[in-house]
Structure 1
Amino acid sequence: MTLQWIEADGERLVDEAGQPVTLAGVGLGGWLNMENFITGYPGTESQQRKALRRVLGAEGYKRYFDRFLTDFFDTADAEYLASIGLNSVRIPFNYRHFEDDDRPFAHKAEGFAWLDRAIGLCAEAGLYAILDLHALPGAQNQHWHSDNPTHWASFWTHRHFQDRVIHLWEALADRYRDNPVVAGYNPVNEPADASGEAIGPFYTRLERAIRAVDPRHVLFLDGNRYSTDFSAFTEPFANTVYTAHDYALPGMAAGSEYPGMARGEYFDRGVVEETFLRRTEFMRRTGTPIWIGEFGPVYTGDPERDESRLRLLRDQLDIYRAHGASWALWTYKDIGLQGLVYADPESPYLRRIAPVLEKKARLGVDSWGGVDTGIRDVMAPIEELFAREFPEFEPYPWGRRPWVNLLVRHILLAEPLVGDFARCFDGVTPTEAEDLAGSFAFGRCVRRTPLANALREHLVDGGEQVVAS
């Protein structure tokens, strides 16, 4: 299949013939940028990798991750996405695949090779690829998904880190400048510049650097504050899409219903659309295309509640269509919380790490999908102390209570739990390690059929598939 070049033309993306293109796809979370709720480890990707290298040894570690990276996204995965009617894949990656901190600016060939492979698989299936730098040196936001072991986003205060990202994007743009399968570049995932002063100048510098190498590809630029705040932008750049993330509270909050209540607020389609309109005000005001780079509920295993969340998903998809927005569902594959496809609960990998998964849930260690029900006796007094002693304290980006949760649950408790995760692999041989990683192969995974059907029905009804020429 041959995919046409696309570009931003007013409010829409268009192909070479000027025909509108709506990108309808998924994010490939957990692959070249790993996340704890997606594959089950606690803490950050770097903490997990360090622990597994120690317990598996050099050979076991290499064979485990080579198999994981091969099987997590392969031909069958790309073909399955195309069979649903999707036309694009957002590919998140961690800068560590491309350079080491002790050798900054020296790029590693293997990172480019893995990207080449994924783009090739997309091309064969007729899928566009959007390249997404999801974890930046110094961390561009305060949370685990930027491989950040702290609560500080140091990227915005160190010119050195910014220079390295510019250098990496110059290399990526040079490599893919002539490849139309790459729909475009998403240079910074969910930035969170607390000052609000660094992100604007950095984006200006980044746009100029990429355009000097590659003037043709679309840029997909996330807003500040985790892609929800576009106040740093004034005049839009040429051939650029401004991307919002649109997670809806009834799809995330424990005990929520839709339509119905979530954390004391009532949600229906009108409220969900109001949130979308607020988050995309900049794009509509400037007449630029809209791309929802991430959205999607998490699932509970309870059929009634999960049907409620699929109802929310359908409403969001209909809202996006009504406003001409492209989208990428988060996420394609995981261990059962959110994925379109997920590892079999009886797989060797999930059986092996089951004690850690139970402990993670009990302690509320994961931010995404985790709750603190089991440790309210610990959390409540801390929250009360802060409310009493620091009533004016509302730290960036989400306020006092999420800040306490980040420090206590997702850092203080998560870090020692990495050791528990590593002990699950005691005595595992290199061959066994390889087989464990193979638990993520498409043929060994479970499909979330109701979700696939909801996407397929929406795409067939709306005719949003890209027709290759």
Structure 2
Amino acid sequence: MAGFLKVKGTKIVDENDEPVILKGSATGGHLNMENFITGYPGHETEHKQVILKKIGKEKFDFFFDKFYDYFWTESDAKLFKSLGLNCLRIPFNYRHFIDDDGDMFTINPKGFERLDKIINSCSKEGIYTILDLHAVPGGQNQDWHSDSKIHFALFWEFKVFQDVIVNLWGKIADYYKDNQWVAGYNPLNEPASSDHSKLVEFYTRVEKAIRSVDPNHILYLDANTYAMDFRQFPDEPFPNSVYAIHDYSVFGFPNLEGTLYQGNEDQKGKLKKQYERKVEFMKKHNVPVWNGEFGPVYDSEVRGDTNVEVTNRARYQVLKDQLEVYKSGDPSGDGSPISWSIWVYKDIGFQGLTYVSPKSKWFQVFGEFLLKKKKLGLDKWGNAIDAEYDKLYKDLENHMLENIPEEHHKALYPNVWTISDYLARVCRDMLFSQYAQHEFADLFVGLSFEELDELAASFKLENCLQRDELNQILKEY
């Protein structure tokens, strides 16, 4: 162990100024549950509220305590290390620390217990951790993974929400200030504020709160607009900070035109150009870059996909070509690699290095619902909606396009979203999923404690499968 990591020029270094390249993944839908990762529709908090109402507090608490215990164990840390990975990003929801119905400035110690369990298992294996606040009050962006039920980022509209989170980060930093295996803090996942100055002001405040108790740990600061845009950031970099991008490629997702990635020079050029655009700020200001999220979605016969082998071969090639970009992507131009964290370590079969077995209790209980959910397009992430239902939304999209002046098509923020994206968000991810929550929760009703334990244990590593080709690619890197 070589002390606290720190920033020096475009590098992350140890206390001996030796460069450290962080390579890893995020745990996934563990302390921040995302719908495609575990299969529920909609938003995490609503998901839990409906289940609680259906099965009662005793069984609710039992199931989720088991789920948290099983999702990440010391066995997972050992596998992670064996793949040559050295840094785990831990996404967490603020609700592990803060009760919405109570004094939001009072911190629940249970949040630290859950983080400690992961951090300690990693430190035993020589694995760094980055603490990633993935959901905040009101939502820091317009999407479902910030655990907001609406498509507005209300976090930026209410200063009290920001006050609560600045206070939380001060408490977290004070708690972990002496832990050298914590590689740093990722204060806000994928912020999206139409007023860029609000994000910069928040980072200024949170940096001050953290530094007042913890002068050592690195901050990993996501760009605005879903970790893609640094154009409004101040020219003076934040001290001891790494600037974070997310670098998903459209080539890694279902393509409705049916065109698979070929890995030709034009496509490789687009991957590189996309990356170079995102790191212009880092090159200009001589600061490090961390690619906090990237990675394709893989097809699965369990989800009814066809030509799985051919499709996934193309997706693995996307990953390989992205890693080639990162291998010499240091903003200094000296040809050294950047640090990165692929999305995601464990799920039900979309992207995970490990994934729940199709023979598990999870698929016995939820498998039929998951196929229906896919057909209805209630998970936009990685799923193409069934053509029959897609036409309904396409007709609505065309209706809106015909009646909204063309110059207003990009009037909403984020304007990278199309009208089709907004319809998917509002109609399917929110409203339709709100109804579907009840159908999903009904499947918990009547399960015994033993069955709930078996259900949660579907996520134990010994009951999961490994995505061998993906893991081999990462290991060889």
TM-score, with normalisation over the residues of structure 1? 0.94
Q: Hey, what's the Cα distance between the residues in 2 that align with 1:171 and 1:40?
A: 33
**Greater mean deviation of Cα atoms: 21-30 or 227-236:** 227-236
What is residue 307 of structure 1 aligned with on the other side? Answer: 313
Contact 1:56 1:429 survives alignment (8 Å):
no
1:454 aligns with 2:473: yes
What is residue 250 of structure 2 aligned with on the other side? Answer: 249
Q: Over aligned residue pairs, what C-alpha RMSD do you find? A: 1.3
Q: Hey, what's the Cα distance between the residues in 1 that align with 2:314 and 2:362?
A: 30
What is residue 382 of structure 1 aligned with on the other side? Answer: 396
> 5+ residue gaps in structure 2?
301-307, 330-336
Map 1:413-432 to 2 at 5 A: 413-432=432-451
What is residue 238 of structure 1 aligned with on the other side? Answer: 239
- Give aligned-pair identity as a percent: 42
Closer/same/farther in 2, CA of residues 416 and 274 from structure 1, 3 Å limit:
same
What is residue 278 of structure 1 aligned with on the other side? Answer: 277
Contact 1:33 1:92 survives alignment (8 Å):
yes
1:141 aligns with 2:160: no
* 3-state SS in 1 of match to 2:212: helix
Q: Hey, what's the Cα distance between the residues in 2 that align with 1:342 and 1:237?
A: 38
* 3-state SS in 2 of match to 1:259: coil
Residue 260 (structure 1) shift: 6.4
Q: Hey, what's the Cα distance between the residues in 1 that align with 2:440 and 2:79?
A: 31
What is residue 155 of structure 1 aligned with on the other side? Answer: 155
* 3-state SS in 2 of match to 1:268: helix
Closer/same/farther in 2, CA of residues 445 and 44 from structure 1, 3 Å limit:
same
Contact 2:263 2:318 survives alignment (8 Å):
no
Map 1:19-168 to 2 at 5 A: 19-103=18-102, 104-168=104-168
TM-score, with normalisation over the residues of structure 2? 0.93
Q: Deviations over 1:17-47 (max 9, x none)?
A: 1111000000111000000000000000111
Residue 290 (structure 1) shift: 0.9
Residue 269 (structure 1) shift: 1.3
Deviation beyond 3 Å, 4+ runs, structure 1: none
Aligned residues: 453
Contact 1:199 1:232 survives alignment (8 Å):
no
What is residue 259 of structure 1 aligned with on the other side? Answer: 262
Residue 4 (structure 1) shift: 3.3
Aligned partner of 1:425: which letter?
Answer: F
* 3-state SS in 2 of match to 1:336: coil
Map 1:266-415 to 2 at 5 A: 268-301=267-300, 302-323=308-329, 324-372=337-385, 373-390=387-404, 391=406, 392-394=408-410, 395-397=412-414, 398-415=417-434
* 3-state SS in 2 of match to 1:230: coil
Residue 407 (structure 1) shift: 0.9
Aligned partner of 2:190: which letter?
Answer: E
Within the candidate set 464, 469, 472, 1:445 is matched to 464
Q: Hey, what's the Cα distance between the residues in 2 that align with 1:65 and 1:438?
A: 11
Residue 206 (structure 1) shift: 1.3
Residue 285 (structure 1) shift: 1.1
Residue 375 (structure 1) shift: 1.1
Q: Hey, what's the Cα distance between the residues in 2 that align with 1:329 and 1:56?
A: 35
Q: Hey, what's the Cα distance between the residues in 2 that align with 1:374 and 1:316?
A: 34
Give the structure, 1 or 2, with the largest relative contact order (CA under 8 Å, sep 6 or more): 1
Q: Hey, what's the Cα distance between the residues in 1 that align with 2:366 and 2:388?
A: 20
* 3-state SS in 2 of match to 1:20: coil
What is residue 214 of structure 1 aligned with on the other side? Answer: 214
Aligned partner of 1:417: which letter?
Answer: A
Residue 3 (structure 1) shift: 5.7
Aligned partner of 1:101: which letter?
Answer: D
Q: Hey, what's the Cα distance between the residues in 2 that align with 1:240 and 1:439?
A: 38
* 3-state SS in 1 of match to 2:196: coil
Aligned partner of 1:366: which letter?
Answer: D
